[in-house]
Amino acid sequence: MKQLIDQNWLQEHNAKQEAAVISDYNALAEKLERSGIKIDTILEQAKQFTVAVPSWGVGTGGTRFARFPGKGEPRNIFEKLDDCSVIQLLSQATPAVSLHIPWDRPKDPSELRQYAEQYGLHFDAMNSNTFQDQIGQEESYKFGSLTHTNKAVREQAIAHNIDVVELGQKLGSKALTVWVGDGSNFPGQQHFKNSFTHYLDSIKAVYNSLPDDWNMLLEHKIFEPAFYSTVIQDWGSSYLAAKETGERCLSLVDLGHHAPNVNIEMIVSRLAQFGKLGGFHFNDSKYGDDDLDSGSINPYQLFLIFNELTDIRVQDPSYSPFYMLDQSHNVTDPVESLMYSAAEVQRAFVKSLLVDRNALTQYQEANDAMMAQASLKQAYNLDVEPILQMARLQAGGAIDPVSCYRASGYRAAVAKARPADPNKTGSGIV
Ligand SMILES: [Mn+2]
């Protein structure tokens, strides 16, 4: 398999920290053993955990005010995959890449697929884009896409989604994620019922073109770019649409797409209870859809979400929603942020495995609020870093991905190989 960081060098880098990791791991094993937890079974599950990287995440993001490009930013989808391969190599938790079309449209899909496969990468859910106009496009999305009042615009948006599915099939993807910014900025601007009816008709048309082994994921978002009303603004609208559309049409939860302080872990439980929770976009936020790094603001919320997911998997071990990081990296090296964030999501997952579910159930049944919340905190407060380090070490990754990446000199090398085009502002999502 092709690797952009030399395996021997990586092993030498790990060797300096290996003895400390083994010592920490053994100490944690002893501690968990006292609670009847076998650390090796947790380690195996940690090694199985994966979260997809968004192709657009490896470029520097920006705000609606400005974008400050980083050095050596990828200039095309092949260079994006180079960066994704480094993230996977060092973190060993991100073997899949999620593409955004048309940003990542390849001239030759089979060439792109082979390019990914040489790194051991594959393609996760495909993302369509009808929230901006594309060059040469007949109709404009200024006043909406799948929900537009004009049938010709809706048909164009439907055709785009079907096209993305056809491309995704050639790339080995198994899902289409649909997010539309359709909505209104003023009371009275849009007829709520009519716009939702248009949405349902449009996504049903896309759904009918899906291959049998594909899922369609509907992503809701409370506001922005529409500031008064958004057609798919919440999990309720998403659930209704998914239910109306079909069995393989599911809701996707982006953590940043809710009002502040909304109980997202309960949304997770509700959607899952009725078989409609299909996937996640992980990120964190303080004020709105900030797209900050996962776990950087509210790691306890991330843990509580995984606590629900692990609870679901106790009932149904085969349950496996689509996981993706959806972040905008404005002030960090995107490769570092994505490696660090993948580990934060993996950390929340691992901690959720340590919750004593029998004890929690008993406390809930007995209305012992104190001990119920303490049983969650007991798992959350444990430092599981040795498990994550051991998982990476055994899988051939880096014990400490960020320090290893910095020592490798990868960014300096690509900065030389990828001179910035002064006329291009590059990728990035706001
Ligand atoms: Mn998202």
Is a pLDDT exceeding 80 seen at residue 339?
yes
Is a pLDDT exceeding 60 seen at residue 218?
yes
Distance 337 CA to ligand 1 centre (A): 17
Distance 108 CA to ligand 1 centre (A): 27
Is a pLDDT exceeding 60 seen at residue 426?
no
Distance 219 CA to ligand 1 centre (A): 7
Specify the 3-state DSSP secondary structure of 278.
strand
Mean pLDDT of 107-113: 98
* pLDDT of 429: 47
Distance 325 CA to ligand 1 centre (A): 8
Does residue 98 contact residue 408 with C-beta atoms inside 8 Å?
no
Is a pLDDT exceeding 80 seen at residue 205?
yes
Distance 19 CA to ligand 1 centre (A): 40
Distance 130 CA to ligand 1 centre (A): 14
Mean pLDDT of 247-275: 97
Work out the mean pLDDT of the chain and round it to a whole number: 96
Distance 324 CA to ligand 1 centre (A): 9
Distance 274 CA to ligand 1 centre (A): 22
Q: Using alpha carbons only, what angle is made at residue 144 by residues 257 and 235, rounded to the nearest 5 degrees? A: 30
Residue 170 CB-half CA count within 13 A:
15
The predicted-structure confidence for 391-419, as pLDDT tens digits, reads as follows 999 999 999 999 999 999 999 999 999 99
* pLDDT of 425: 53
Nearest one of 323, 342, 310 to 280, comparing CA atoms = 323
CB under 5 Å of ion ligand 1: residues: 254, 281, 326
Q: For residue 368, is it left (φ>0), alpha (ψ between -120 and 50) or beta?
A: beta
Q: At a CB cut-off of 8 Å and minimum separation 6, what does 15 contact?
A: none
* pLDDT of 420: 82
* pLDDT of 163: 98
DSSP states of 346-369: HHHHHHHHTS-HHHHHHHHHTT-H
Q: Using alpha carbons only, what angle is made at residue 382 by residues 308 and 352, rounded to the nearest 5 degrees? A: 15
Is a pLDDT exceeding 60 seen at residue 430?
no
* pLDDT of 228: 98
Is a pLDDT exceeding 80 seen at residue 191?
yes
Domains observed in the chain: 7-127+255-417 (3.20.20.150)
* pLDDT of 64: 86
Is a pLDDT exceeding 80 seen at residue 314?
yes
The predicted-structure confidence for 42-81, as pLDDT tens digits, reads as follows 999 999 999 999 999 999 999 889 999 999 999 999 999 9
Does residue 72 contact residue 414 with C-beta atoms inside 8 Å?
yes
Distance 148 CA to ligand 1 centre (A): 22
**Checking DSSP bridges between strand 183-184 and strand 229-230, what pairing results, if any?**
antiparallel
Question: How far is residue 352's CA from residue 23's CA, in Å, rounded to a whole number?
Answer: 23
Question: How far is residue 161's CA from residue 313's CA, in Å, rounded to a whole number?
Answer: 31
* pLDDT of 72: 96
Distance 281 CA to ligand 1 centre (A): 5
The predicted-structure confidence for 353-368, as pLDDT tens digits, reads as follows 999 999 999 999 999 9
3-state secondary structure 187-256: CCCCCHHHHHHHHHHHHHHHHCCCCCCCEEEEECCCCCCCCCEECCCCHHHHHHHHHHHCCCEEEEEECC
Is a pLDDT exceeding 80 seen at residue 424?
no
- CA torsion, ordered 345, 348, 350, 356, to nearest 10 deg: -160
Question: How far is residue 108's CA from residue 149's CA, in Å, rounded to a whole number?
Answer: 35
Question: How far is residue 91's CA from residue 47's CA, in Å, rounded to a whole number?
Answer: 10
Angle at which helices 369-380 and 357-365 pack, to 10 degrees? Answer: 160
Q: pLDDT band at 421, cuts 50/70/90?
A: confident
Mean pLDDT of 242-268: 98
